[in-house]
Amino acid sequence: MSYRAAENRYGKMKYKRCGRSGVLLPAISLGLWHNFGEIDDYENSRAMIRRGFDLGITHFDLANNYGPPPGSAEETFGRILKNDLAGYRDELIISTKAGYLMWDGPYGEWGSRKYLIASLEQSLKRLGVDYVDIFYSHRPDPDTPVEETMSALEHAVRQGKALYAGISNYKPEQTTKAAKILKESGVPCLIHQPRYSMLDRWVEDGLLDVLEAEGIGCIAFCPLAQGRLTDKYLGGIPEDSRAAKPEGYLKREQITEELLEKVRSLNELALERGQSLAQMALAWVLRDERVTSALIGASKVEQVEQNVAALDNPEFSADELKKIDKILSQ
């Protein structure tokens, strides 16, 4: 049976304006960093994307190296787009990035015009689309002039192979310079994608102020700190968790007893609010109006549903915010 999206898919999701642009993003966006690669179960990936769209998630975030193996998340999404979502393409925001290692040789990563444009061409083929909605520089390149990197983003937009330009992992001063170059080119920076969570608050030290001043949207990745801000690790490290696996970015030694004490206290506060810890952590990231969207990952449909339900209780009292800051400072 062919997929037909839920008729009420726009009934509950909150949409926020991305900076000073005409783009509205869902408050919860779905990232395909994990669990959508070639090694993962296709039908599970398909079910998560379809359910997400039924819940009003219109933004699906990718990068050239997502998988594993690199490139396979784009291939998976391209297959789902062709089989299920092709008729809804104009309702979707599809984003991809280039910046991390993708192929051998001196032109396979970082921020050169050569690499970025070649990577985007490959991404379009894997996705099976003529354009992406947002094309990001995934990380600043310490050796390539930022003017060259931004000119590649401008070129992609001028060619019609991306509708908007974005940056990710740029520090405040780097963001200011990149935004100036793009604005002067006539292709303003739409969005910045930084890492941001209760456990990683670096964006509060200047970056959010820069984004507000420049009229750039913000989409936070890792708002759940790779699962540390969920109930998964309250009792230790489960054998099926990311921290228990030898590969991946979350290491067993990052789950310290000091961290667990904070997480357990945060979990108690979340329960008082009638939320799970993950739901409270998402609502907390979105409490700042400068944050357009929170980017979730998921391994099953139920997680997508539970994360979207964070929007049912988005408000914090001043007392709750003080309690959270006190817990985090211990």
Domain containing 49 — which CATH number? 3.20.20.100
244 in any annotated domain: no
249 in any annotated domain: no
Res. 311: pLDDT tops 70: yes
* Structural domain for 161, as ranges: 15-226+279-315
1 in any annotated domain: no
pTM: 0.95
240 in any annotated domain: no
130 in any annotated domain: yes
Cβ atoms 68, 38 nearer than 8 A: yes
| DSSP class of 66 | -
Q: How many domains does the chain have?
A: 1
Cβ atoms 127, 159 nearer than 8 A: no
Structure confidence at residue 8 (pLDDT): 98
232 in any annotated domain: no
pLDDT-derived band of residue 300, with 50, 70 and 90 as boundaries? very high
The share of the chain scoring above pLDDT 90, in percent, equals 89
Angstrom distances, CA of residue 208 to CA of 63, 191, 215, 235, 316: 23, 12, 10, 34, 20
What integer is the mean pLDDT of 275-289?
98
218 in any annotated domain: yes
| DSSP class of 245 | S
pLDDT-derived band of residue 256, with 50, 70 and 90 as boundaries? confident
6 in any annotated domain: no
Closest of 302, 312, 310, 303 to residue 285, by C-alpha = 310
